[in-house]
Amino acid sequence: MLRRLLLTLVSLGLATSLAQAQSKPTLTVYTYSSFAGKYGPGKPVKERFEATCGCELNWVTAEDAGSLLGRLRLEGENTKADAVVGLDMNLVAEARALNLFAPHGVDERDLTLPIKWNDNTFIPFDWGYYAFVYDANKLANPPKSLKELVDNPNGPKVVLQDPRTSAPGLGLLLWMQKVYGDKAGEAWGKLKPRIVTFTKGWSEAYGLFLKGEADMVMSYTTSPAYHIVAEKKDNYKAAAFTEGHYLHVELAAMTRTTKQPDLAKRFMAFVLSEPFQSAIPETNWMYPAKNPPSGTPDALKGMIEPSQALLFTPEEVQQNRRTFTDAWLNATAR
Amino acid sequence: MTLKLPHPGSLVAFAILGLVAGGFIALATFDGGTPTLLSIGPYLWRVLAFSVIQATLSTVLSLALGIGLALALARRSFPGRDIVLAILGSTMVMPTIVAVFAVFAVYGRSGWLAEGLALLGWNGSFSIFGYPGILIAHVFLNGPFVARITLDGLNQVPAEHWRLATAFGFTPFQIFRHLDWPVLRAETPGVAGLIFLMCFKSFAIVLALGGGPSRSILEVAIFEALKIDLDFGRVAWLALIQLAICLSMTALLHWAFTRPPVGHTIRSLVHRPDAKTKALKLLDAVVLALSALFIAPLTFSILTGFRSMLDVIDADLLQAFVTSLAIATAAAILACLLALALASAARRRRIVLRSPRIAAFYDLLPDALLAVPPFALTAGLFLLIQRLGDPSTAGLILLPLINGLAAVPFAYRYVAPHLLTAEERYGRVAASLGITGWSKLTIMDWPVLKRPLAAGFALAMALSFGDFGIIALFGGTELVTLPYLLYERLGAYRLDEAASIGLVIVLFAVFLAHASGRLSHAGD
């Protein structure tokens, strides 16, 4: 038994070193795990890029955007990453401060983002709005605004994510801040009795919602598309809020330390090209940063379209995150 | 002239202390400056207080369930007992998210309990968020483990003692007082320490079931500092606070209870004379029924993972299984070797050199490994490894290393008492025959040690098999383990597939626990 295991280990090791010995250049791209997973865009993106680049694309994954950044910070200039796919807007200021990323030189005109994008280092590859998702079979009259959700003492119960450990959690914190400003603390206090819990990550919260622990869950406007396309269920819907929805933009960048800057630049250009963008809607369940000429992809048609995109700049997020979090803690941790 | 080599246990102890200290220093001085120590404000005090209270309550309840169950199981036999024992030995290693979903499936708003009550015409509602949810999850994870390890201890009572007890006509109380109690006194502090540490750190459970940030524990703050603030100095500082609290707690437990000496014996399975007492029959029936009522639904809810089993069996799963197996094997080997070295050093100090204080230090060291937040240790060690070599191999080294280190206290629990037993039984004979070193290990210790070592190995392997902790940071497509695959599927809306992968992990843990049970129950 033990010998067989050792053999397996050794052969695994050999296989990796053989793979590395191949003559083709390898582009190492860091991303979060579900992106490179079985159902994520990782596989088609790898195949499509390798078909044109004469190279090998190697995904290296960490759990989520925060872990990606943590890992890059630990590795510093020794990082093996040539590029990173999967940071988000709220981490940009911290990411920039690492001084690890290089200008991408890609034309960013013709993006179909709800905001203007002009950044020579970070490229948006997909985006979506945060939204509360509910089951229309169980909740007939969802709130029409964030204020209605907060104010109605008999309103639906919600399951949220902890803003200290999760991206959507931070998204809602910022959303509340945009809508309520200095009064955000009070609003949290009002909502508190109907908050089932704040989970560590999106997965736990969404799981609790599907298992019926809450009437609504903090997720994305595009979440219903998954249920429609993959499960043929149309009872899950996102609630449109009149104040507008907070925007979530996912980003890619290439590193300053890459030994193959040309290949990395080609990958950056590839990110905004049709082969990459068309893989996004039905794998990552987000809007592509650049729609095809035919407009919004079929899978995402019929999703709610918020009237306004709410967004803090990365610098504002970096400066105020601690204050916002403390206000949230004071209001909810009693 | 002979060169006197230091005892391997001392080397291991120094190596562990060096690694942990090195990791801390690397973290604290990451920015080239002095670490940013933060003051313990009111929020942190509240977090600390809650961490300690929930961990203490969880530990006490887990011990109550576990010890009650162990005593009942020791007195009774019934068909399927082996399988029950294997399940008891495996709950602790399941990924936390599997346990969380199990708790909701049974006790949630639309769970089995709520549905059952609705069928009976009860239309109120209840919420398990807060202490109930946290305690249910922790007791479900840890209570069965206490039962399993306590039962192993109860089975170690020498056959002669039982013969004497029968000959003297001991009452059930006298049996408890003279036979069971010494075992409980010996086993409980160590187990309690382990459970306390596990509960002190289990933040995914506390967040999911706590119902809000008022139920927040120190590990959340550490996680936040590491992954969001990227403030490594604060990570090191918070980790030190955690280490200090956990170590004081386990030290207190070690100090409060001391292990009694063991007798000379060859163990054999005995029929306990108190099994026939009517009152105990009733008590055991109640305890077993209540435990089954608590543990069985939660366990059964995990079996719903069978539904999507066919969807998840593919090359990815197979590869993840092999990867997990390889990492778990390496981690278990490491854990057992380290535990063996530390335990033999502790034994030498305690019996040969008669310095119990230093021995107690060796006993505490494994717990320190569990008290260090794995994220902090990983990040620190990564910084160390990076200075020495290629960072891309870091994951390959760190995964088995961290998992192995985290499993040392568990392996130690199995190994240390038996090494002492061997010394107490045969130490003088061996000394008079001049048997030392390697031959002492193979001739004197091995026969006593091999079964507990195998059991410790299986547990260490299972622990590593279900671990997600650090792979979050250092997984990668080259290192996809089963828990990693589970979270990847969850992140892609595939809850059913995640449940199936969870079931695979739990089934393998049951298999390991069953195998180790067979080993440790076989006759000598």
Complex ipTM over 0.95:
no
Low-confidence ranges of chain B (pLDDT < 50): 1, 261, 263-264, 522-524
Interface contact flag, B491 A37, Cβ < 8 Å: yes
A140 vs B513: which has the higher pLDDT: A140
- pLDDT reported for residue B4: 60
Mean pLDDT of the A78-91 span = 91
Write out chain A residues lying below 8 Å of B212, CB-based. Answer: 192, 195, 197-198, 332-333
Counted residue by residue, chain A has a size of 334
DSSP string for residues in A189-222: HHHGGGEEEEESSHHHHHHHHHTTS-SEEEEETT
pLDDT tens-digit profile of A90-131?
A: 889 989 999 999 999 998 888 999 999 989 999 999 999 999
Contact B140, B294 (CB under 8 A): yes
Q: Which of A66, A94, A198 sits opposite B207 (nearest CB)?
A: A198
Closest approach of B477 to chain A, Cα-based (Å): 5
Closest approach of B471 to chain A, Cα-based (Å): 8
B382 vs A159: which has the higher pLDDT: A159
Write out chain A residues lying below 8 Å of B129, CB-based. Answer: 196-197
Minimal-distance CA residue of chain B relative to A219: B493
Interface contact flag, B491 A32, Cβ < 8 Å: yes
User: Which are the contacts of A38, defined by CB distance < 8 A and separation ≥ 6?
Assistant: B314, B316, B488, B489, B492
Interface contact flag, B227 A208, Cβ < 8 Å: no
- pLDDT reported for residue B436: 76
Minimal-distance CA residue of chain A relative to B214: A333
Least confidently predicted of A73-87, A172-186, A214-228, B27-41: B27-41
B90: which 2 tokens? Answer: 């495996």
Q: How many CB atoms lie within 10 A of CB B490?
A: 26
Interface contact flag, A211 B226, Cβ < 8 Å: no
- pLDDT reported for residue B264: 46
Closest approach of B251 to chain A, Cα-based (Å): 31
Calpha distance B250→B225 (Å, rounded): 26
Minimal-distance CA residue of chain A relative to B316: A38
Among the listed residues A267, A121, A201, A37, the one whose alpha carbon sits nearest the alpha carbon of residue B316: A37
For testing contact with chain A, the best of B230, B313, B385, B457 (most A CBs within 10 A)? B230
Write out chain B residues lying below 8 Å of A200, CB-based. Answer: 203-204, 207-208
Q: How many CB atoms lie within 10 A of CB B122?
A: 11
Asked whether the predicted pLDDT for residue A177 surpasses 90, the reply is yes
pLDDT tens-digit profile of A37-50?
A: 888 999 999 999 99
A215: which 2 tokens? Answer: 């009437």
Minimal-distance CA residue of chain A relative to B496: A207
- pLDDT reported for residue A5: 52
Q: How many CB atoms lie within 10 A of CB A1?
A: 6
Minimal-distance CA residue of chain A relative to B328: A5
Tokens 């069971």 sit on residue: B180
Closest approach of A9 to chain B, Cα-based (Å): 7
Interface contact flag, B43 A333, Cβ < 8 Å: yes
For testing contact with chain B, the best of A204, A259, A319 (most B CBs within 10 A)? A204
Q: Which of A67, A94, A211 sits opposite B104 (nearest CB)?
A: A211
- pLDDT reported for residue A50: 95
pLDDT tens-digit profile of A208-255?
A: 999 888 999 999 999 999 999 989 999 999 999 999 999 999 999 999
- pLDDT reported for residue B41: 66
Minimal-distance CA residue of chain A relative to B396: A13
Q: Which of A33, A213, A285 sits opposite B108 (nearest CB)?
A: A213
Interface contact flag, B475 A199, Cβ < 8 Å: no
- pLDDT reported for residue B519: 67
Interface contact flag, B213 A62, Cβ < 8 Å: no
Interface contact flag, A196 B46, Cβ < 8 Å: no
Write out chain B residues lying below 8 Å of A329, CB-based. Answer: 43, 213
- pLDDT reported for residue A84: 96
Q: Which of A73, A79, A162 sits opposite B230 (nearest CB)?
A: A73
For testing contact with chain B, the best of A12, A69, A162 (most B CBs within 10 A)? A162
Q: Residues A110-141, buried b or exposed e (16+ Cβ, 10 A)? A: ebebbeeeeeeebbbbbbbbbbbbbbeeebee
